[in-house]
Amino acid sequence: MEITLEQADKAIKAARDKAQELNLKMNIAIVDAGANLTAFARMDGAWLGSVDIAMRKARTARFFDMPTGDLGQASQPGGSLYNIEHSNGGLITFPGGIPIKDAGGEIIGAIGVSGSTVENDHTVAEAGVQAIS
């Protein structure tokens, strides 16, 4: 089961609405179950460097089927996954990436958001996830 473009559009719209409500400019990426890009939007004036980060957060969340921030807990110096960021051409392991599940709980893709604090990035990503879960 794969996320559809219609679902991805819905998630991006919800994330954009939440970003506007919070007065933020975000980059928002959606990948499918194969971790391949499905949809992307950069809000006017959002950080250029966050284009890449939003996509990496979405991929990272699907690569390990967990929120990116969870992975980041274990990748710190001394942690069990220290410097896992070197794999897969470069991971991003701070918050803002979240897996997307269908009604039955199966993972069908992931969302990645970048453009503000990691707390805001996560909040906006969560809005995208809620829109289609």
5 lies in the binding site for a copy of itself (CB under 8 A): yes
Site string for a copy of itself, 74-93 (x = CB under 8 A): -xxxx-xxxxxxxxxxxxxx
Asked if 102 touches a copy of itself (CB under 8 A), the answer is no
Contacts 24+ apart (CB under 8 A), 68-74: 68/92, 68/93, 68/94, 68/95, 68/96, 68/97, 68/98, 68/112, 69/93, 69/94, 69/95, 69/96, 69/118, 69/122
60 and 31 Cβ atoms separated by less than 8 Å = no
Q: Which of 72, 97, 99, 112 binds a copy of itself (CB under 8 A)?
A: 72
Total residues binding a copy of itself (CB under 8 A)? 53
Binding mask 26-65 for a copy of itself (x = CB under 8 A): ------xxxxxxxxxxxxx--xxxxxxx--x---x-xxxx
| C-alpha distance from residue 44 to each of 23, 47, 50 (Å) | 12, 9, 12
Residue 127 CB, nearest approach to a copy of itself (Å): 17
Binding site for a copy of itself (CB under 8 A): 2, 4-5, 8-9, 32-44, 47-53, 56, 60, 62-65, 72, 75-78, 80-94, 117-118
